[in-house]
Chain A
């Protein structure tokens, strides 16, 4: 699986949009970009994933650049409960492939 690079930490004010970047310059054509987060003392939580088109769900939006070498996870209105470690993971499109976690970005949302 391709590796990803994320900033170790970010801050965001409550109510503002949180934009979390991820670089994956060696991504292959059959690899998806997945985002998970881990809130303290809980298991990792699935957020969103995409291949090349932008994606949106009830939790977040995923913007993938046209060359697919980077992406941004957007939490449109961050709340204190969004404070967590966010993981950007690239994963080959093959049934049952495991996720490989990196260090992630620690997002701190403050009031």
Chain B
């Protein structure tokens, strides 16, 4: 079984540019989550999809961040325009929808550097 895959693994952009991160969850996993870790800080929850619907986006920092999951398969997280403080590692995770909690499985993240 393929794990959660994220693309790209690294991205370096200039302040003001746009970047789109992609996440492919484990096949059959309806729950998809985005997290990020900025330098020196804890891993922070950003948002949660159930299939194509946003279940919880309370962790999204501001309206420069847009997450989508069209068709309920892969997801994208767009940052536009990027700011210096957006630098960090962005993780995606997925889990099965079993009617009760099932473990989250994480990808290896996208390291974003905004210069």
Q: Which residues of A contact B (CB under 8 A)?
A: 32, 34, 38, 41-46, 49, 91-103
Contacts and interface: CB of A to CB of B under 8 A. Distances in A.
Contacts of B56: 98
B91 A95 contact: no
Report which residue of A45, A96, A100 has the largest number of chain B beta carbons within 10 angstroms of its beta carbon.
A96
A103 B42 contact: yes
Interface residues of B, number: 27
Contact of A96 (B31, B105, B106, B108): B31
A45 B91 CA distance: 12
Interface string B94-115: 0101111101111111000000
B98 A43 contact: no
B45 A95 contact: no
Contacts of A102: 42
A98 B45 contact: yes
B108 A42 contact: yes
26 contacts: A41-B108, A43-B93, A43-B106, A43-B108, A43-B109, A44-B93, A46-B103, A92-B101, A93-B100, A93-B101, A94-B101, A95-B100, A96-B31, A96-B48, A96-B97, A96-B101, A98-B45, A98-B48, A98-B104, A99-B45, A99-B104, A101-B43, A101-B44, A101-B45, A102-B42, A103-B42
Given A95-B99, A98-B56, A101-B42, 10 more contacts: A32-B101, A43-B109, A95-B101, A96-B48, A96-B101, A98-B48, A98-B104, A99-B45, A99-B104, A101-B44
B108 A95 contact: no
Nearest to B47: A98
Contacts of B97: 95-96
B4 interface: yes
A93 B55 CA distance: 16
Nearest to B44: A101
A32 B108 CA distance: 25
Contacts of A41: 108
B33 A98 contact: yes
A43 B45 contact: no
B50 interface: yes
